[in-house]
Structure 1
Amino acid sequence: MKLNSKGQVTIPASLRHQYGFFEGDEVQVIADGSTLRIVRTAPELGRGDRLIEQMRGRATTKLSTDELMALLRDE
């Protein structure tokens, strides 16, 4: 593996697959003594995801799914 002029390296495909790294994953490079470790970071939630997390579990209704759909469709 060779470091390019921008300080980048390519993780071989076999290692990416073995450890479950995918395009777009956020990673950190951590100094661990004389070794560098590449670790996946938890993705930051977007605005929509944060809203869903805030709303999760707050619905209070005794209507069935069919009744809700009829209400939403104005039937």
Structure 2
Amino acid sequence: MSIELTVTAKGQITLRQAVLDHLGIAPGDRVSVSLRPDGRAELRPLRAKPEVIASRGVLKRPGRRPVSIEEMQAAIEEGAAGDDA
């Protein structure tokens, strides 16, 4: 899909709603523009903070019990002790 935009006398462009919707950009959001060596520009939404809640459950394994913070720390310390040997 190709969308043509017009540059104003001030050197600005207005992105069409279809472009904003495709990128998930809302009023007040920020975007990042990367200038490519081949003369292209890449436009991406700039997310201020990653949404931690979106990663909830990503490490869940069916049939395995949750591991406590204390158990995680013990495993880290055991692993670190093994590196010195």
| TM-score, length-scaled by structure 1 | 0.49
| TM-score, length-scaled by structure 2 | 0.45
